[in-house]
Amino acid sequence: MTTQTATQTPTSVSFLGLGAMGYPMAGHLVKAFDSVMVWNRKFDKANQHESEFGSKAVDFETAVSADVIFSCVPTSAQTAELIERAKPYLKKGSVWVDCTSGVPESAIAAANTLQELGSHFIDAPVSGQTIGAINGTLTVMVGGDKSALDFAYPAIDCFAGRIEHVGASGGGFAVKAINNTLFAVNSWALGEGLSVLKAHGVNPSAALACINHSSGQSFASSATFPDRIVNRSFPKTFTLDLMAKDCGIATDLQQQAKLPAPVMAAVASFMRAASNQVEAGSADFSEFIKFLENWSQVIISDEMTTPKN
C-alpha cells in the first residue's frame, strides 16, 4: 500500500483505456499537466499515444499511483476489475474519474471501495462523440463528491466543453443512461412519424426540413436522420448493442425507483428486439431503423423503394 498522499492540486494524471474516445481525451491532458501517464491493455496504443502527444506510456502500477486517474472502458464490470487490481497502488487523496458509460449501482460500490482506501471515485461519463473528444468539447456529467470533482476539475477541463455536477455517486451514469434512452425514444418516434408521412406521399427530407424548424425538432431529427439514415450511410460509431444496454440501465433505474415510465420501457424493448435481429455487435445504433422498416415495409429514404426484407 502506497503511503504517498495527493497534494491539494493534482500534479500527476493518468489515463487508462485508450479507445476511440479515451485516446483523444488523454491527448488533451498534456495541455495542462507536465506528467501525463497513459496505460492500455494492448500496450502498443500507449506507446503510440506517447509518440503522438508527448504523454508517457507507463505500467499499470505506476499509472494508478497518479493524483488523478481517468478510466474509459466499455463496461462498469471492466472498471471494477481495474479498481480491484489498482487497490495496492493508489495514492491517498487521489481521485479516480470514470468516463465509462456505466451502471449507477457500480459507481456507488466503487465510491465506497475507494473511500475505504482514502481515495475518491467520481462517475463522469461524457457525451459529444468522437468529434467532441478530438476537439476537447465534451459534455461531462459528474456524480459523486463535490470536493473530489473540484480536485480533478483542472484535468477534466482539458477535454470538456461543459462539466456538470449532477448529484451523488451514480448520478452521472444515471443522466447518461437516461439521455441515451431519450435519444432512442426520439429516434424511434421519428421513424414512426416519417413512415406515416412517406406512406402519405411526403418524402423524409422534406418532412425533416419542416420538423427541424418546429417543435418536433430533436438531435435525432437534425443530426441522426439526415446524416445517417435518410442517406443510408449508417456510419459505425456507436453500436446498437450498447444503445440497448443503456436503455436497459434506464429500465433498471425506473424499477429501483418504482416509477412508471411506459414509453421509455416500450422503446427499450424495441431496441432490445432490434439488436437481437440485426448484427447488433457491429451495427451502428442508427440501423434500428431497419427493424422498424421491417414492421412497416416503408423505407426511410427519399427514394420510393420497397424494402429488401
* Angle, in degrees to the nearest 10, between helices 171-199 and 104-116: 170
d(CA 163, CA 156) in angstroms, rounded, equals 8
Euclidean distance between the first and the last CA atom of the chain, given in angstroms as a whole number? 60
Which is nearest to 79 in space by CA: 103, 62, 95?
A: 103
Residue 102 found at the interface with a copy of itself (CB under 8 A): no
Restricting to residues 225-254, name those near a copy of itself by CB under 8 A. Answer: 244, 248, 250-254
How remote is the C-alpha of 28 from its chain's centroid?
18
Task: Please name the residues in contact with 252: beta carbons below 8 A apart, sequence gap of 6 or more.
Answer: 103
Q: Which position among 32, 77, 131, 266 is part of the footprint of a copy of itself (CB under 8 A)?
A: 266
d(CA 193, CA 201) in angstroms, rounded, equals 13
Q: Which stretch binds a copy of itself (CB under 8 A): 33-41, 74-82, 147-155, 162-170?
A: 162-170
Restricting to residues 104-133, name those near a copy of itself by CB under 8 A. Answer: 104, 127-129
Residue 294 found at the interface with a copy of itself (CB under 8 A): yes
Residue with cell 493524483: 67
Which is nearest to 77 in space by CA: 59, 101, 45?
A: 101
**Minimum distance of a copy of itself from residue 152's CB (angstroms):** 17
By CB atoms closer than 10 A (0-12, 13-18, 19+), residue 305 is exposed
Q: Which position among 7, 51, 112, 255 is part of the footprint of a copy of itself (CB under 8 A)?
A: 255
Q: Which stretch binds a copy of itself (CB under 8 A): 17-25, 76-84, 151-159, 296-304?
A: 296-304
Overall size of the chain counted in residues: 309
Q: Which is nearer to a copy of itself, 90 or 250 (CB)?
A: 250
H helix or E strand, kind and range, residue 288: helix 288-296
Q: Which stretch binds a copy of itself (CB under 8 A): 12-20, 26-34, 76-84, 173-181?
A: 173-181
Which is nearest to 1 in space by CA: 119, 96, 60, 87?
A: 87
Residue 171 found at the interface with a copy of itself (CB under 8 A): yes
Restricting to residues 207-226, name those near a copy of itself by CB under 8 A. Answer: 207, 209-211, 213-221, 224
**Minimum distance of a copy of itself from residue 160's CB (angstroms):** 10
Question: Backbone phi, then psi, for 63, in 5-degree steps?
Answer: -60, -45
Q: Which position among 55, 65, 179, 286 is part of the footprint of a copy of itself (CB under 8 A)?
A: 179
**Minimum distance of a copy of itself from residue 237's CB (angstroms):** 11
Q: Which is nearer to a copy of itself, 25 or 298 (CB)?
A: 298
Restricting to residues 17-76, name those near a copy of itself by CB under 8 A. Answer: none
SS3 label, residue 184: helix
Q: Which is nearer to a copy of itself, 25 or 244 (CB)?
A: 244
Contact call for residues 162 and 140 (beta carbons, < 8 A): yes
Residue 286 found at the interface with a copy of itself (CB under 8 A): no
Residue 273 found at the interface with a copy of itself (CB under 8 A): yes
Q: Which position among 116, 262, 304, 308 is part of the footprint of a copy of itself (CB under 8 A)?
A: 262
Restricting to residues 137-156, name those near a copy of itself by CB under 8 A. Answer: 139, 141, 143
Q: Which is nearer to a copy of itself, 102 or 104 (CB)?
A: 104
Contact call for residues 267 and 246 (beta carbons, < 8 A): no
